[in-house]
């Protein structure tokens, strides 16, 4: 055996020893299994059950604006739940319980693709805001509403017939319920900004209810309506473009802040203003002359005013003219008798 062969064998043994030691060499690349790939892409079922989003899906959705940046929306939806509980009881003459499940942010196209069919999708017009919203009634709530309004027996679940479209009677009855909800929604927004939500059309195909661009962000509020053993889900979708006219008001942290004033502080400020001392100037006349003429003034120079003893005198506070009157004397002091008010208070 030659010396070169011996050296090559020693080098191979040294390389094997280095690979065997921890951290002694470069580890071979490892292939990810399916669970790790799902977790990386954000499709982990366990995390989805908990409501969390991770991986690349979280990065893709990071551009969405969270509804928590509009705190007053929670107040609006709380008012809506209370008002709907009363109005739907009067509408159905039945015991109705309304609850708010959650408020989330989503993309418009993602929501349309997730609407469980069959469903009744109401296109709603916000007249003062000149934009649209969606009110989705799922099939369970639609059949329950029809069953209640048509005199179905209590304690039995509404019968659902698969494979057929909604009838004209069912659409008309659901439309009446939608109008009741829209009336309550308008009243719920009244403390924030007066707005009228008007029913525009009723669709059963999500493609015909496209009111925003696919990538636009929207706020989704899910409400649960229970009528004894019957009920279903009502979903309200408000695109951010619809809420843009009242965005500044929805950013307020509490209801009183939206008015921009405090009643106690307003009363105190008004009382202090009435006690404020101001200086008034009585102006006999005014005219404009050049700076050269002013510089040529000398002791004994006379300035002619276009005023007579009976000329009107202006009473000013700074640059604001307040009153007009006649100049005179009272108890040896110069005085002005006010004739008229020059500025409307």
Sign (positive or negative) of CA dihedral 284, 288, 293, 294 = positive
Question: How far is residue 267 from each of residues 260, 271, 272, measured CA to CA in Å?
Answer: 14, 6, 9
* Model pTM score: 0.56
**For residues 258 and 271, is the Cβ–Cβ distance under 8 A?**
no
How far, in Å, CA of 302 to CA of 283, rounded?
A: 18
Sign (positive or negative) of CA dihedral 303, 304, 308, 312 = negative
Within 10 angstroms of residue 233's Cβ, the number of other Cβ atoms is 17
User: Which of 116-125, 211-220, 249-258 shows the lowest mean pLDDT across its residues?
Assistant: 249-258
**For residues 182 and 124, is the Cβ–Cβ distance under 8 A?**
yes
Work out the average pLDDT over 286-302. 86
pLDDT at 84: 92
Check whether 327 has a pLDDT greater than 70: yes
List, in sequence order, every residue forming a beta bridge with 125; answer none if it has no partner: 132, 198
Check whether 323 has a pLDDT greater than 60: yes
Strands lying side by side in the sheet with 312-317? 281-283, 312-317, 320-330, 333-341
pLDDT at 83: 92
Within 10 angstroms of residue 225's Cβ, the number of other Cβ atoms is 25
Tokens 């202006």 locate to 314
Under the banding of pLDDT at 50, 70 and 90, the label for residue 279 is: confident
How far, in Å, CA of 259 to CA of 254, rounded?
A: 10
List, in sequence order, every residue forming a beta bridge with 137; answer none if it has no partner: 120, 234
List, in sequence order, every residue forming a beta bridge with 313; answer none if it has no partner: 325
**For residues 316 and 281, is the Cβ–Cβ distance under 8 A?**
yes
By CB atoms closer than 10 A (0-12, 13-18, 19+), residue 148 is buried
Detail the DSSP E strand segments found in the chain: 96-107, 119-126, 131-138, 197-203, 217-227, 230-239, 281-283, 312-317, 320-330, 333-341
In the chain, what's the furthest Cα-to-Cα distance? 138
Under the banding of pLDDT at 50, 70 and 90, the label for residue 193 is: confident
Work out the average pLDDT over 199-209. 88
Per-residue pLDDT tens digits for 135-157: 999 988 888 888 888 876 665 55
Check whether 47 has a pLDDT greater than 50: no
User: Which of 25-29, 48-52, 166-170 shows the lowest mean pLDDT across its residues?
Assistant: 48-52
Q: Is pLDDT larger for residue 319 or for residue 89?
A: 89
pLDDT at 180: 93
Q: Is pLDDT larger for residue 312 or for residue 176?
A: 176
What's the DSSP call for residue 207? Answer: G
Burial 77-112 (b: 16+ CB within 10 A, else e): bebbbebbbebbeebbeeebebeeeebebbbbbebb
pLDDT at 42: 59
In this structure, what token pair is assigned to residue 163? 């494979």
Domains belonging to the chain, first-starting first, are 32-49+56-64 (no CATH), 70-259 (3.40.1550.10), 277-341 (2.30.330.10)
pLDDT at 53: 54
If we measure between CA atoms, which residue out of 98, 176, 184 comes closest to residue 142?
Answer: 176
If we measure between CA atoms, which residue out of 226, 220, 67 comes closest to residue 136?
Answer: 220
Check whether 48 has a pLDDT greater than 50: no
Phi then psi for residue 173, to 5 deg, are -65, -40
Q: What SS3 class is residue 282? A: strand
Per-residue pLDDT tens digits for 110-135: 888 888 888 899 999 999 999 999 99
């Amino acid at each position: 055996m030659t010396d070169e062969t011996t050296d090559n064998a020693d080098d191979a043994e040294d390389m094997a020893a280095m690979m065997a030691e921890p951290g002694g060499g470069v580890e071979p690349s490892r292939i990810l299994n399916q669970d790790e790939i799902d977790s990386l892409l954000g499709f982990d079922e366990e995390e989805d059950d908990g409501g969390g989003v991770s991986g690349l899906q979280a990065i893709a959705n990071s551009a969405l604006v969270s509804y928590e940046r509009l705190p007053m929306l929670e107040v609006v939806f709380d008012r809506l739940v209370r008002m709907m509980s009363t109005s739907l009881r009067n509408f159905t003459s039945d015991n109705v319980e309304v609850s708010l499940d959650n408020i989330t942010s989503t993309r418009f196209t993602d929501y349309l693709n997730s609407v469980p069919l069959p469903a009744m999708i109401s296109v709603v017009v916000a007249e003062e805001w000149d934009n649209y919203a969606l009110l989705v009634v799922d099939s369970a709530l639609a059949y329950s509403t029809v069953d209640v309004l048509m005199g179905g027996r209590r304690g039995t679940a509404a019968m659902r017939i698969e494979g057929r479209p909604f009838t004209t009677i069912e659409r008309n009855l659901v439309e009446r319920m939608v109008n009741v909800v829209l009336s309550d929604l308008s009243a719920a927004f009244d403390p924030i900004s007066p707005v009228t939500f008007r029913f525009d059309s009723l669709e059963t195909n999500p493609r015909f209810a496209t009111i925003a661009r696919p990538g636009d962000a929207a706020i989704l509020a899910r409400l649960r309506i229970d009528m004894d053993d019957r009920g279903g889900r009502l979903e309200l979708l408000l695109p951010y473009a619809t809420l843009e006219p009242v965005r500044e008001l929805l950013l307020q942290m509490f209801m009183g802040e939206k008015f921009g004033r405090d009643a106690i502080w307003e009363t105190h400020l008004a009382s202090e203003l009435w006690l404020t001392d101001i200086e008034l100037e009585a102006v006999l006349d005014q005219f404009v002359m050049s700076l050269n003429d002013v510089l040529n003034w000398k002791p004994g120079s006379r300035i002619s005013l276009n005023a007579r003893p009976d000329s009107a005198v202006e009473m000013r506070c700074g640059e604001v003219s307040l009153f007009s009157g006649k100049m005179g004397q009272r108890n040896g002091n110069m005085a002005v008798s006010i004739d008229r008010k020059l500025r409307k208070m």
